[in-house]
Amino acid sequence: MTEKTEHAASPNAPHGRITIEREYKAAIKDVWDLWTTKKGFESWWGPDGFTAKVLKLDLRPNGELRYAMTAVAPAQIEFMKRAGMPLTVEARIAYTEVVALKRLAYTHLADFIPGIEPYDVATVVEFHSSKHSVRMVLTLDRMHNDEWTQRSVMGWESQLGKLATILAGAAAGGMEKGAKES
């Protein structure tokens, strides 16, 4: 797996954009399924110390993904308590574009930050398939300030590490944790 993260300003986003790239030795179908199925999403979404449970998945433009993310590790539980946040946060993603095996675009409602009015964070995920690997490029809006932008990047780095672990298991002989939809 190769990694690359950039912080770049964009004229389309008032606070700039962040680009994160990863390359996985995996089949495009395996990567796509991890992003677009209930079992796949639940197997890797969220930083270390959190779990995700899908409440609704309607994968189409104007469809939505609703999920509950729960702090389960002691350090994350303590952070959530100190920040005045509940241990479980329900989140909503609104899909704006779905091109099978190629591209996902969505807005993620950031409504979980104490003292901050909710706002949308736009994200685009592009999948570039070659014979033996998939290059994935995420481009997302920066958060409302540098501290929360850094937390966002750290969260993405953590959860993409989980994604890499699952894909490495798939390359070694089958998807782990039941990531394929039955």
Q: CA-to-CA distance for 35 and 41, rounded, in angstroms?
A: 5
Least trusted range by pLDDT, from 6-20, 26-40, 62-76, 98-112: 6-20
72, with CB counted inside 10 A (0-12, 13-18, 19+), is: middle
Interval 120-178: pLDDT, tens: 999 999 999 999 999 999 999 999 999 889 989 998 999 999 999 999 987 676 544 43
Please report whether residue 109 resides in a domain.
yes
User: Would you state the pLDDT for residue 3?
Assistant: 55
Neighbours of 173 (CB within 10 A): 7
Q: Token pair for residue 129?
A: 């398939």
Higher pLDDT, 2 or 71: 71
User: Would you state the pLDDT for residue 15?
Assistant: 61
User: Would you state the pLDDT for residue 179?
Assistant: 40
Position of tokens 């008032």? Answer: 14
Residue 140 belongs to domain with CATH number: 3.30.530.20
Please report whether residue 141 resides in a domain.
yes
Please report whether residue 164 resides in a domain.
yes
Per DSSP, the three-state class of 45 is: coil
Closest CA to 133 of 46, 17, 31, 16: 31
Please report whether residue 66 resides in a domain.
no
Please report whether residue 161 resides in a domain.
yes
Q: CA-to-CA distance for 102 and 164, rounded, in angstroms?
A: 18
52, with CB counted inside 10 A (0-12, 13-18, 19+), is: middle
Q: What are phi and psi of 35, to 5 degrees?
A: -85, -25
Please report whether residue 154 resides in a domain.
yes
Q: CA-to-CA distance for 163 and 85, rounded, in angstroms?
A: 26
